[in-house]
Structure 1
Amino acid sequence: MNESYLETTDRKPNRFWKAERQDNNLIITEGIVGTEGQKTITEFESWDNCEDRIDELTDDMLDKGYDFLFDDDDTNYEPLKKGEWFEVIYTKILPLYKRAILNYPKDHYTYFQLQWTGQGFALGLTKNIEENYWEYITDETFDESDCSLNDVYHILEAIPYEDDEGYLVDIERQEWPKNEQEIYDLEYFMLNTMLALMCQELMADAELQPYLSNIKKRVIVATDRPLQPFKYLAAPIKERKKMVTLLIKEEATKLLILDLWADQLKDKGAQLLERFK
């Protein structure tokens, strides 16, 4: 990370903290929002050491109650709180699935599929296990970029989408995830797990029992990738925990994700996969 900007949102006056690297120099600026703040400059032997220190200090400030913000050039700040990405999508999409199911005729359905296609969320609910039919529950008002972890990294790390000549800028980082493909892999894994949790909640909903009580097969898919552990991308443990803290709010969900992401599948992760065999 070559730049980090955080603010407090739970105290008055709100304070800000900014760390940025210029060559091998670490520049820290902090103070009350609306002021220029106080600036300190520390020189390191290499830019790698400088960026490592930014990561350490950023973690310390998050522990002290600071939060990431979308854009440090915008005076109308919108806090990007820990867990916002996962929580916002979940609470927005779950009611859409419930409404879509209630629009079906009451019947003894046996096949239940929740899917993310890369363009929207979809539902499959049929009496034929082999039919594999699905339809979108999101319409033209849904912005698929809301689900993009690629956008999260562009925003949080102030990575421009285009260079000065208008060409798209690929994300390249020193730590995991190092590139856009690894970010996409993480995104699909997170969305698959999210859909599995939604499926469990929908199956337990008393109002949906006339539709879902006879389900024989449940399928979770994110862009053709089935629900599975995430061990094929062996990120360092520290980076896994950092991603989980950044994207997820609920402690139980954090533990579930880390179980599915462990070097060896365990505990709640194994139990979840067992339910979807």
Structure 2
Amino acid sequence: MKIMLFWVSQFVGINGGIEKVFTNFANEMIQRGHSVEMVYCTEKHGEFYTSINPKVNIINLADYLPEHKFESARPVSMKMVREFWRIVDRNHMASFVRSFEVKYICHSIKELLENINPEIIISFSAKSTQALQMADIHHHYPIISMVHSSINYLLNDYSPSEIQALANSDVVQVLVPEYIGQLQEILHKNNIVCIPNIVPQLNADNSERKGNTITEVARLDPEQKRQHLLIEAFSRIANQFPEWKVDFWGGRKWNFLYSVFKESYS
């Protein structure tokens, strides 16, 4: 099967969670014998943070745009409106910028789709799904939309047009089972499935391990990463397992983590 992984994102040189999923997904599908086109969009040049199977066809959508411009293609008038909304409502500002980007890249996506002719498209964001649907108005290509965020974040951050784009997808995939029912109520759509992120399996040698540590690596964020759940769970059994400890590696929102830790152990 010819699979297109589509994400309107910089991707180059960035080491984040979705970037890892983007790469792992492509590598896994190649291992399973599929043909994979991996599409991102940025003017920036550089190395990818994670290794990608050489059989993956990597495409920068910016190569299809006028003068290969994406980030710098925003006109002055658009930037002025953006700065106004930055002061008034930052969420609306972000939606305004994404809406501009979707319209700007729509024609180039149509050209790309005609060149590749994928059998199925996996979209990695609501913005990406909206852009694909604007380019493919006759719905020639089935789209699976991945939702990597919590439902609360989706409601607060996504624009109505982005939520509608998810509703118009052939399938929507979420990461946590509890999100299925919540998203069904929002999208009025039953074709929602839960599939956790792909995680490469490692055969680690534990012979030299000293101590027992649970390490959680992510930004500290109560809405998305929800480290407080691990803290609350471990606090209930910590006295029974004094040889175990929990480490958190990440940045941002330390205050929330400290308050939960203090409450859990008080």
State the TM-score, normalized to the length of structure 1. Answer: 0.26
State the TM-score, normalized to the length of structure 2. Answer: 0.26
